[in-house]
Amino acid sequence: MLVIGTTEGIFVAEANESPRASDLPDRDVKVLRQANGHVLAGTNDGVYRSRDGAGGWQRVGLEGHEVLEVMPAPNDPSTVYAGTVPAALFRSRDGGATWSAVDSFTQAFDADTWGLPAIAGWPSGARAHSIVVDSKDPERCVVGIEVGGVVSTARDGSTWQTVLPGGVPDIHYVVADPERRERLYCSTGFGRIGKLADVPDKERIAGMFASDDGGQSWRYIWEGMLHRYTRPLCIDPRPPHALTVGTAPSARPYISYRVEGGAHGQIYQSADGGTSWRPLGDAPHSPSVAAILCVTPAPDAAGNVLVGTDFGEVWHVEAATTSWKRLADGLPPVQSVLAME
């Protein structure tokens, strides 16, 4: 069963059946995660929880907050973090039932480099877009800020520092290598504000970065690739831990869905830690008219991914053959897909 988060609620798709709406129809659903025996949904009006993702959704906190990310600690299912816009960090100690703000997080704020550029269709303010929780210490985490940088806790978990990978503040998704907790990867874009906005568009760097020290320093792993805006990102929990990223020429397809002329979206994958990349598009998706809004590992085999698009489709992509199979369509823009076994 697939639980599908869209701009107009949650849908459920069983094998060989058309998707059906759940009982959470009126929320802009940004993210779906499993935590502590439940499914959690981050929405434009708080966090909702369901036993199985198919129904019975109840709001469990952060009413009035736009929640972009919900992330459980890998080895402590009772600890869950949430990131919001405007950028703030919240934590639950009981699997998502109750929440409190991580007040020390705001100390990392830099008014001269944090916040979205003035873009019609998007609210102002920085966005806490992604969270990685340390696999050994649930008090420590890394937060990707769009636009702001990579914000991480110090060793004691109580103070924070901000790093700009390659000078890039426009951080979208951050993921961790399942076997090497200090190895992180992040996708980035062209967004700049304040003093950083003085750099001409054609000179701005975007693409993929990697860190070998938990986000303290970063190296560029997009050399030789097209000048692309990289956004949705996932890492496979199974060896060789393939990285898959969705790209577009600019942020426009992610601001105004179904843009005239097509999104020119493309998916790339690396099976060697970002040393090399290859496209995963079949003929109709090289490039894709639809924008690639989310990517997540498919449960059937290592390297395969599930893809959600702004055309309301969910696709299964087989990495070995780059073949695409449509699993669901006719939906609002798909922003998150969770495979339930």
Q: How does pLDDT run across 323-332, given as a tens digit for each residue?
A: 999 999 999 9
Distances in Å between the alpha carbon of 205 and those of 130, 202, 221, 253, 313?
Answer: 20, 8, 12, 19, 30
Which residues lie across from 151 on neighbouring strands? 143, 162
More confident of the two residues 170 and 113: 170
Residue ranges making up the domain that contains 135: 2-339
The predicted-structure confidence for 84-107, as pLDDT tens digits, reads as follows 998 999 999 999 999 999 988 877
Average pLDDT taken over every residue of the chain: 91
- Kindly state the helix (H) or strand (E) to which residue 90 belongs, with its residue range: strand 88-92
Q: Specify the pTM.
A: 0.93
- Kindly state the helix (H) or strand (E) to which residue 253 belongs, with its residue range: helix 252-255
The whole-angstrom separation of Cα 101 and Cα 62 is 10
Which residues lie across from 11 on neighbouring strands? 4, 21
The pLDDT of residue 209: 98
Question: Which of 172, 333, 329 has the alpha carbon at shortest distance from 257?
Answer: 333
Answer whether residue 110 shows pLDDT above 90: no
Tally of structural domains, the chain: 1
What is the arithmetic mean of pLDDT over 10-29? 90
Helix, strand or coil, per DSSP, at residue 8: coil
Q: The tokens 């924070």 sit on which residue?
A: 160
| Helix, strand, coil abundance in the chain, percent, nearest 5 | 5, 45, 50
The whole-angstrom separation of Cα 324 and Cα 285 is 9
**Total Cβ atoms within 10 A of residue 163:** 16
What is the arithmetic mean of pLDDT over 25-54? 94
The whole-angstrom separation of Cα 80 and Cα 184 is 19
What is the arithmetic mean of pLDDT over 257-268? 92
The pLDDT of residue 116: 64
Tokens of 95: 């699997």
Judge whether 31 and 67 are in contact, CB under 8 Å. yes
At 112, is the pLDDT very low, low, confident or very high (cuts 50, 70, 90)? Answer: low
Total residues belonging to the chain: 341
The pLDDT of residue 108: 72
At residue 152, what is the residue type?
S
- In the chain, the percentage of residues whose pLDDT exceeds 90 is 71
**Total Cβ atoms within 10 A of residue 104:** 14
What is the arithmetic mean of pLDDT over 247-268? 91
CATH number at residue 150: 2.130.10.10
